[in-house]
Structure 1
Amino acid sequence: MSYPQSPKHRGVQREVLKWLQSLELSFYPNNVRRDFSNGYLVAEIFSCYYPRDFPVHSYDKGTSLCVKRRNWSQIERSLQRQSLHLMKEVIDGTIHCKPGAAELLVQHIYTILTQRSIRNVQSPETSDFTDREYQGLLPTLARSTASQAIKNNLRTTEIMAEPDITTNQRKAESILHMHLQHKSEERALNPGRFQVKPNLGHLAARTSVPAGRGDVRSDSRSSRDVTSSTCQT
């Protein structure tokens, strides 16, 4: 059985890939999610347009969390000098190799530096940087369990960068909630596949009171009262 391609190998527009090739970088990003995470390629791309503000020799090619944070901190300072801006959420997602973050980052860098627009690019505000889209493409039996969903979407580097237990617990709970919600929606759409049995509420016959029936009863009761009072007089 062949499974859909993982988001880390797709999602970058063809015109952006051609643009990257034209820059003659020190190496071509075959794995966008991995190769952009430490910020070195990002600095190299910006150095093609702003060589004085992004000296490549001052950036490290290492992959440790310490190196990543140092490189990206330097990139952000250089961007401020040029009045350029990349969203913090996208940078953090790229550092931690979150699904879709690096792809979105490189496409936004493309629009900033070339002043060209790209069609069908997801906005950072609507991106959750999880593997939800990828999981939806997989067969039901191949999808992640609840524990695997947390492992897939809560990176070790995230925990290292923010070691607060409460913060990471909230992240895990959010991922778990999203996973269970997706499962619930799937069961509702495909009850036969999951052998969902209807409960008593679904089996009970629902009879609706005809419209105006109560009004007729009250009208007839009031008319009898009027008749009774008339006879007494």
Structure 2
Amino acid sequence: MSAPTPRSGTAGRRRVLILGGTAEARALAARLADEPATTVISSLAGRVADPRLPVGEVRIGGFGGAPGLARWLSENRIDAVVDATHPYAARMRVAAVDAAATVGVPHLRLERPGWSARHGDRWHRVPDVDAAVRALPALGRRVLLTTGRQSLPAFLPLTGLWFLARVVDAPAGPVPAHVRLLRSRGPYTVDGELDLIRAHRIDVLVTKDSGGPLTEAKLAAARRLGLPVLMIDRPAAIASSTAVATVEQALGWLSARHAQPG
């Protein structure tokens, strides 16, 4: 990669890339789109067939790892990168940090806080999906699985359990008889989650610590019914990444970068 090129193709106007797919990414794009001096481009991985699109320019598909993203940032004269991808998009997080450093573009991680256990919760925290697969048989037999389509194959060998797997998009190919797919996307209500759990006689919930209000109702329902929750922790944070937890904080960070003399 050649030396970093000067930023900003138009004097006084900034170009911001948001690596998105989350509610926070959409909210940030909407706020930036209202700023006359900002061009906002949102990038979506393309893993969801019918994604919720943010306002502004949208790019769908991968970059080809950190080298491809670095080239794209340079060619498109990006002034700042905000990584607001899902908390479990670990590879994208690493690629964003590396690519931004390669071309000398300021980088920010926008990540909502995880959930915190409350009185009455029966949470069992595990570090990753493999650990969840090992721990699950001791906690229940009828499982509400909300970890997403990509992690579903890891649980399929547990043929002694029955799964209600809630996904946005169905996986390719058929699923075995002990798995029932439920295609759905939040937000959810506590009453709706209670009805779902009772209707399918669920006795354990498996989820990721995604945080946020859109899918939190399942935790309240499990608490009310006294069900165990197998909670998969987030990947470790990247030490070199500047991080904020809210859209307002991200806007403040971007304003400070824009105010610095170029």
Greater percentage in strand: 2
Greater percentage in helix: 1
Considering Cα pairs closer than 8 Å and 6+ residues apart, tell me whether 1 or 2 has the greater RCO. 2
Query: Structure 2 length as normaliser, TM-score?
Result: 0.22
